[in-house]
Amino acid sequence: MKKVAILGFGGRGSIYSALCRSMKKEYEVTAVIDINPDKLARAKKELKLSDNRLFLSLDEFLKAPKTADWVFVCTQDQQHIDHAVKCLEAGYDLLLEKPVACTIEDCLKIESTAKQYGRNVAVCHVLRYTKYYTKIKEIIDSGVLGKIIAIDQTENVGYWHQAHSFVRGDWRNKEESSPMILAKCCHDLDLAVYLTGSHCKQISSVGKLNFFKKENAPEGATEYCLKGCKAKKDCPYDCEKIYVNSIKPIPQFIRKHISPHVRLTPDGLVTIPKLYDAMNNSDFGKCVFMCDNNVVDYQVTTAVFENGVTSTLTMTAFSNWLYR
C-alpha cells in the first residue's frame, strides 16, 4: 500500500483524496498540508486524520516524522519548483500536477534533483492515458491512415471557464501564475508529442488578449456585478448567472462539491450564501472587463516534429462548451 501526503487540499487535492479513498487497498492518505485552516478541518473530517497529520506549511510537514512515501503536489504553478525540490530532497516520490514548472530551468532542476536522490516524479499529463486518446494513438500507429502529415487540435476553453479561471481566477495573471500556454494547453502540447511519437524541432506561437479589457466593458458596467451593474441582465459573464443560477436546480448533496464553485468557498464546500459572500468580496465577483488579467484569450501554436509531422493547436476562450 502506498502512503500519500497531499500538498494543497483544493480542487485537485481533494479529488486525489477521494480517489485514494476509493482505492483504499492500494492507497492511504496519511497527511494533508494546506495553508487554509478551513480546508484542513475538512480534510480531518473526511479522512479521519489526527491533528498531528495536518500541517499549515510544507516546512512543518517535512520537519515531522515521516508518515508517507509519496507527496501529491497540488499547489499553484509558481510554487511547484520550491515544493517539488524540497520533497525530493526529503526522500519523497512525487505525483506532480501539471505544468511541471513555469520555466525550462525549473523543469530541469526538478529532473536533476529526482535523479540525484533516486526519486520518482509522475507528472499528471493524464489525458494521454484516457481511452479516447489511447485509441487515437493505436489507430495512428496501425498505419491504416497512411502517412500522417498534420495533427490539428482545438482547445475550446468555454466562455464561463475562461471567465472563472483566466480572467477572475488564480490563472488570470501570468506573472502570478503561468502563461495560458502552460496553464491550459500543456495537456494539448503533450498530446501532440504523444500522437506524433517524435521530438519537436521547431515551434512558433502567437496569442493576444483581445476581449477581456476595460475598453470593452458595456455601458453601465460597474467593478462588481452585484453592485449596481446596468449591463448585468444581458451579460453572459455575470457572476450570479455563472455561480448561482447554474446550480439552483441541483440538490444540495450534489451541489456542495460542484466545480468550479468549490474554489469560491473557504473550505471547498459549496453553499449559496458562501457564493454570494465570495461574489461580493473577492475577484470572483468582479466585472470580467475590470480585472487585472493579462493572459491571452486566443492563441495559435504550430510545431514541426523530427518525423515531418506538423501540429497546430488553436486555443480559444470564445466557445459555448468546454471541450477539445
| Per-residue model confidence as pLDDT tens digits over 188-226 | 999 999 999 999 999 999 999 999 999 999 999 999 999
> Which phi and psi (to 5°) does residue 189 adopt?
-65, -40
- Give Cβ neighbours of residue 277 (< 8 Å, ≥ 6 apart): none
Average pLDDT, the chain: 96
99 preceded by cis ω (within 30°)? yes
| Per-residue model confidence as pLDDT tens digits over 127-184 | 999 999 999 999 999 999 999 999 999 999 999 999 999 999 999 999 999 999 999 9
Q: Report whether 136 contacts 298 (CB < 8 A).
A: no
Enumerate the domain spans of the chain: 2-124, 128-212+292-316, 214-285
Per-residue confidence (pLDDT) for residue 104, from 0 to 100: 94
Q: Which three cell numbers stand for residue 273?
A: 450564501
- Give Cβ neighbours of residue 80 (< 8 Å, ≥ 6 apart): 73, 96, 97, 99, 100, 101, 102, 106, 110
Q: Where would I find the H helices in 2-154?
A: 11-22, 37-47, 58-63, 80-89, 104-117, 131-142
Q: How confident is the model at residue 2 (pLDDT cuts 50, 70, 90)?
A: very high
Sheet of strand 121-123: strand arrangement: 54-55, 27-33, 2-7, 70-73, 93-96, 121-123
Per-residue confidence (pLDDT) for residue 44, from 0 to 100: 96
CATH pick for 2-124 out of 3.90.1150.10, 3.40.50.1000, 3.40.50.720, 2.20.25.90: 3.40.50.720
Other CB atoms within 10 Å distance of the CB of residue 76: 16
The domain made up of 128-212+292-316 has a fold known as Dihydrodipicolinate Reductase; domain 2 (3.30.360)
Question: Of 250 and 167, which is predicted with more confidence?
Answer: 167
Q: Report whether 290 contacts 235 (CB < 8 A).
A: no
Residue type, 120: N
Per-residue confidence (pLDDT) for residue 175, from 0 to 100: 92
Angle, vertex CA 174, rays to CA 170 and CA 177, nearest 5: 45
Per-residue confidence (pLDDT) for residue 98, from 0 to 100: 94
Q: Report whether 75 contacts 94 (CB < 8 A).
A: no
% of the chain exceeding 70 in pLDDT: 100
Residue 315, SS3? strand
Q: Which three cell numbers stand for residue 137?
A: 494513438
Residue type, 102: C
pTM, full prediction: 0.90
Q: Report whether 196 contacts 151 (CB < 8 A).
A: yes
